[in-house]
Amino acid sequence: MRVAVTGTPGTGKTTATDILASRLATDDSLPDLEVIHLNAVLDEEGLYTEVDADRGSKIADLEALADWLDGRDDAVIDSHLAHHFDADRVAVLRCAPEMLEERLLERGETEAKAAENAESEALDVVLSEAVETHGLESIYEIDTTDRDPEAVADALEAVVAGDREPSAGDVDFMGYLT
């Protein structure tokens, strides 16, 4: 089984999947899945086509990443790009745009990049892409706004274990734009 954990940068994917990884390694009742932090793979393997100087970000080579993932089927894939790849279940982490922007600024992103990501979150960009690629029946939307990382990991664990029903469209941040 392959589970994609995706969402706008700053929603808590890596923190929650790190916690999930330790649970997967120690809890025999959970599936034996490797957690792959795809952004680290992109950096370590050089799987990008160029660097966008204006945004200060790498442009991922999605074909090269798909080739790298080929054969790694028993995995949890963590990345804001994870929904672009084959997956049985897709957890889309969401966060209130104001909090998202604050988190991104705290970790050193530029104001422009933090604002762009907050707007993307309000517009459901990642969720819409995930639904378009995988269908509603495979999407598990998780609002991380008022949850600590352990609670987000609990929600991810429920997705992995099959103890949570698919959901999409329950989180609404459109008010941020008005």
Q: Which residues are annotated as a binding site for ATP?
A: 10, 12-15, 107
Residue numbers belonging to the annotated binding site: 10, 12-15, 107
- Give the DSSP H or E segment for 4: strand 2-7
Three-state secondary structure readout of 49-118: EEEECCCCEEEECHHHHHHHHCCCCCEEEECCCHHHCCCCEEEEEECCHHHHHHHHHHCCCCHHHHHHHH
Q: Is 59 left (phi over 0), alpha (psi -120 to 50) or beta?
A: beta
Count of alpha carbons within 13 angstroms of residue 72, beta-carbon side = 18
Helix, coil or strand: residue 42: helix
Opening angle at CA 88, ends 172 and 170, nearest 5: 15
